[in-house]
Amino acid sequence: MQIILSGLHGDATESSVAEGLAPFFHVRKVEMIREGAPDSPWALIDLDDSYGKVWEVCNELRGVFHRGKRLHFYIPLHQPDLCEALAPHERIDIR
Q: What is the pLDDT of residues 23-75, one digit of tens each?
A: 999 999 999 999 988 889 999 999 999 888 999 999 999 889 999 999 999 99
Phi/psi of residue 52, nearest 5 degrees: -60, -45
Tell whether pTM > 0.85.
Answer: no
Beta bridge partners of 72: 6
Q: Tell me, what's the pLDDT at 89?
A: 65
Structural domain includes residue 95: no
CATH of the domain at 64: 3.30.70.330
Q: Tell me, what's the pLDDT at 84?
A: 61
Residue 94: is it exposed, middle or buried by C-beta count within 10 angstroms (0-12/13-18/19+)? exposed
Could you tell me the residue range of the domain that residue 18 belongs to? 2-90
CA-based nearest residue to 81, from 32, 48, 33: 48
H helices then E strands: how many in the chain? 3, 6
Local structure of residue 88 (DSSP, 8 states): G
Q: How many domains does the chain have?
A: 1
